[in-house]
Structure 1
Amino acid sequence: MSKRNQHVVPRDDGWAIRGAGAKRDTGHFDRKQDAVDRAREITQNQGTELVIHGRDGQIQSKDSHGHDPSPPKG
């Protein structure tokens, strides 16, 4: 499996996980939270970013698990 950001996206019959640039979904779920939980596991293992979309397709939030070149100071 290549390292790519994972997107949780709406589908007519539920929610899917799709790697950035992928032609097919990685997984399909009835509940959004189940898709987010699985996508978070994938991105934590890969050190990539999780992008969560709303029902309208717009990005709701992002969660980075990779190397942050600009970590918060403090």
Structure 2
Amino acid sequence: MGKNQHVVPHNGEWAVKGAGNTKATSVHGTQQQAIDAARAIAQNQGSELLIHGRDGQIRAKDSHGKDPFPPKG
């Protein structure tokens, strides 16, 4: 499983960062562009996508790995 991908505010733009990385993988003008890029990486690596709001707090998660607790239904 790869590193979780975080979409975070970055100098007025939005960055994609792998968990624990100090440098951004990529920087985008809009949050949606960053989400799209991070989702592609997370799907490829089988990891999680964590989307942060402008305040830095996690506002959404999207799992692309093997969920140990998949929804029943």
TM-score > 0.5, shorter chain as reference: yes
DSSP 3-state at the match of 1:42: helix
Q: Corresponding residue for 1:53?
A: 52
TM-score normalized by the length of structure 2: 0.95
User: Which digits, 9 at most, give the CA deviation of each residue in 1:24-67, with x for residues without a partner?
Assistant: 10000011100000100000010000000000001000000000
Q: Which 4+ residue blocks in structure 1 deviate beyond 2 angstroms?
A: none
Distance (Å, rounded) in 1 between the aligned partners of 2:22 and 2:32: 23
Q: Corresponding residue for 1:43?
A: 42
> Runs of 5+ in structure 2 lacking a partner?
none
TM-score normalized by the length of structure 1: 0.94
DSSP 3-state at the match of 2:7: strand
TM superposition shift of 1:11: 1.3
- The count of corresponding residues between Structure 1 and Structure 2 is 73
Q: Corresponding residue for 1:25?
A: 24
TM superposition shift of 1:13: 2.6
Report the residue type matching 1:11 in the other structure.
H
Distance (Å, rounded) in 2 between the aligned partners of 1:23 and 1:15: 15
Q: Percent identity?
A: 59
DSSP 3-state at the match of 1:68: coil
> Runs of 5+ in structure 1 lacking a partner?
none
